[in-house]
Amino acid sequence: MGMSHGYTGAGTDDDQSIRTVHRALELGVTLLDTAEVYGPYTNEELVGRALKGRRDQVVLATKFGLISHTGRQGTDSSPANVRAAVEGSLKRLGTDRIDLYYQHRVDPGTPIEETVGALAELVTEGKIRHIGLSEAGPDTIRRAHAVHPVTAVQSEYSLFTRDPEAHVLPTLRELNIGFVPFSPLGRGFLTGAIRSTGQFDADDFRADNPRFTGANFAHNLHLADQVAAIAAETGATPAQVALAWLLAQGDFIAPIPGTRRVARVEENTGADAVRLTGDQLARLSALPPAAGDTHNEAQMRMMERS
């Protein structure tokens, strides 16, 4: 994919977030990732403002499908919605093309062949350059790839979420498709900064996330502690160790840690320089699975995790 690491635009504190994007570019980040549903819409506008005069420095990715512009309920990846969504994203991003356009979640109401057919037309028209999928399983990936080459698949993957290793990663290696892990820091858990379940606001998704509550949380603290132990050995931060482990899983992997702070971008990009030993990588890979589902029940139904 030609990308070492990426950045997911987050938050709506405009000045701070724009400074963060600019600093990311200075540090060599080559992939920016956003979506129409972030905000909704406001994050694409922010990224567009941040890239004014700098558009050609990055691979620009955004996503569609969680907002319906056709009046449907739920996910909507119908060809009509694809066309409506891309026009809105192009305008908000202030660009004439999107480098990597993802289906945000698989739409059970639209055959993937129809969605990818519509995306292929956008490639021909020059409005998008490459097609991506998010949280898609191997069967969907193969069906999509048979219609038009899929460039990248985006799914949650980290030492905190190892699900893709069983079926998705082997499929991507076989088909020569890039992998873009989101939440590579376990939604903040792997940084070691989260030590109690009582610190989440009611509107924080972690407040009802099974991995951040009850006995699961207590069990999962062991994972964060092991990452912190290896960080102490290397002189890196736990976040850098978690990212370095991901980067060591293959050259086709480009993690996208999301943040709105310059200091975090500087810390995250520093993971490129962290070299874990074979023993350290083996110890991290041998950590037990995290306890609990990665999302609440309603969110899990929107993902193809097998």
Please give the full DSSP string across 73-106, using - where no structure is assigned. SS----HHHHHHHHHHHHHHHT-S-EEEEEESS-
SS3 of the chain: helix, strand, coil, percent, to 5:
45, 15, 40
Contact 241, 276 (CB under 8 A): yes
Catalytic residue among 7, 38, 101, 102: 38
Q: What are the backbone dihedrals phi and psi of residue 32, each rounded to the nearest 5 degrees, phi first?
A: -115, 135
Nearest-5° angle of CA 41, CA 45, CA 49? 170
CB-neighbour burial class of residue 15 (10 A; exposed 0-12, middle 13-18, buried 19+) = exposed
One-letter amino acid of 207:
A
Euclidean distance between CA atoms 80 and 241, whole angstroms: 43
* Stretch (H or E) spanning 47: helix 42-50
Euclidean distance between CA atoms 42 and 48, whole angstroms: 10
38 is annotated as an active-site residue: yes
How is residue 155 written in tokens? 């799914």
Q: Strands, DSSP E only, in the chain? A: 6-9, 31-33, 59-64, 98-103, 128-134, 150-156, 178-182, 258-259
Euclidean distance between CA atoms 116 and 119, whole angstroms: 5
How is residue 216 written in tokens? 């699961």
Indicate which residues carry an active-site annotation: 38
